[in-house]
Amino acid sequence: MQTTLGPVLYFWPRQDIFDFYEKVSQSGIDRVCLGEVTCSKRREMSHGDWIAIARLLADAGKKVVLSTLTLLESESELSQVRKVCDNNEFMVEANDMSAVKFLSSNGLEFCTGPSLNIYNAYTLKQLYKLGLKRWVLPLELSEKKLTSILQQAEELKLNDKIETEVFSYGYMPLAYSARCFTARVNEIGKDECDFICRKVPQGIPLATQENEQLFTLNGIQTMSGHCMNILSRWQDMEKQGVHSMRLSAHSHDVIEIADSLICSIKDNKPFFSELSVEQCNGFWEGGSGKDQLYREVR
């Protein structure tokens, strides 16, 4: 079992990003996905900055993946995606079909992030023909659904050709809009946002009128209100044929959590990670994503 650190989905100050990845370079994490995937207006980090971090991580022995923007609305955003796809150095994770188009036209192998809709192995087969090497299970699918997809992939003789990754820890990106909700909550337009999301590096929590924590607003993204945690399932996942677990880079703590998971994996021991009240187990156990099931580790 490998570990992947997903891209930072929030707007962090430039120095914070550099400090964070400096720590990541010293961690046991196997693979790191990098880049701005949420909002194209967040330009504090240049393409060159990301490449510099990518090289730092590669020198530290990490596998490095550059992630592309998820929702594209303009020509300039399309060129931004093209630039990442044309980097000639690092593998690219496609978060939109535009990236799949660019990468496959260049004859490059690629991986896909959780926002690409892969719900069956027939879709995997199409993407494999275009160069897919690793995919992330869509967030809303359960362990049972993954079993069905992998069985179907077996029938299509794909299983030894494609790696599977499961989003296992962090706040789940659930939806993308033309609107910036961080701006909306502060009653300013998207055009005049003045990067207000920088003031909320972990997003804005949204609760019901009964104070039930529900979502997290992060610019154009609506994320889960609870942090998903299914790290204790790593041995089940491995049996299923999952190659990698993804931890979302939502705070500096994620590195310590990843390192303790990596210790369990190295020692081939169960990982104990009880859900706190702020956490949920996402869709993995079936049912709704916000469920908080305290199931015994098998």
- By rule CB under 8 A, what count of residues binds another protein? 76
Stretch touching another protein by CB under 8 A, among 58-66, 137-145, 239-247, 250-258: 137-145
Is 290 near another protein (CB under 8 A)? yes
Q: How far is CA 171 from the centre of its chain?
A: 9
Select from 57, 127, 255, 258 the one that contacts another protein (CB under 8 A).
127
Minimum Å gap between C-beta 63 and another protein is 26
Q: How far is CA 100 from the centre of its chain?
A: 17
Tokens standing for residue 135: 């995919």
Is 209 near another protein (CB under 8 A)? yes
Is 207 within 8 Å of 225 (Cβ atoms)? yes
Q: Which is nearer to another protein, 1 or 196 (CB)?
A: 196
d(CA 50, CA 214): 32
Q: Tell which positions 54-83 bind another protein, by CB under 8 A.
A: 70-75, 77-78, 81-82
Tokens 């010293």 locate to 26
Is 207 near another protein (CB under 8 A)? yes
Q: Work out the number of other CB atoms within 10 angstroms of the CB of residue 91.
A: 18
Q: Tell which positions 82-111 bind another protein, by CB under 8 A.
A: 82, 96-102, 104
Is 117 near another protein (CB under 8 A)? yes
Tokens standing for residue 32: 């790191």
Is 202 near another protein (CB under 8 A)? no
Q: Which is nearer to another protein, 30 or 114 (CB)?
A: 114
Tell me the CB-side half-sphere exposure of residue 56, using CA atoms within 13 A: 18
Q: Which among 104, 115, 169 is positioned nearest to 137, based on CA atoms?
A: 115
Residues linked to residue 226 through DSSP beta bridges, in sequence order:
none
Is 79 within 8 Å of 46 (Cβ atoms)? no
Minimum Å gap between C-beta 205 and another protein is 7
Residues linked to residue 100 through DSSP beta bridges, in sequence order:
none
Is 115 near another protein (CB under 8 A)? yes
Is 224 near another protein (CB under 8 A)? yes
Q: Which is nearer to another protein, 42 or 82 (CB)?
A: 82
Minimum Å gap between C-beta 259 and another protein is 29
Q: Work out the number of other CB atoms within 10 angstroms of the CB of residue 212.
A: 9
Collapsed DSSP state (helix, strand, coil) of residue 296: coil
Q: Which x/- pattern, by CB under 8 A, does the window 237-276 give for another protein?
A: ----------------------------------------
Q: Tell which positions 173-192 bind another protein, by CB under 8 A.
A: 174-179, 181, 184-187, 189-191
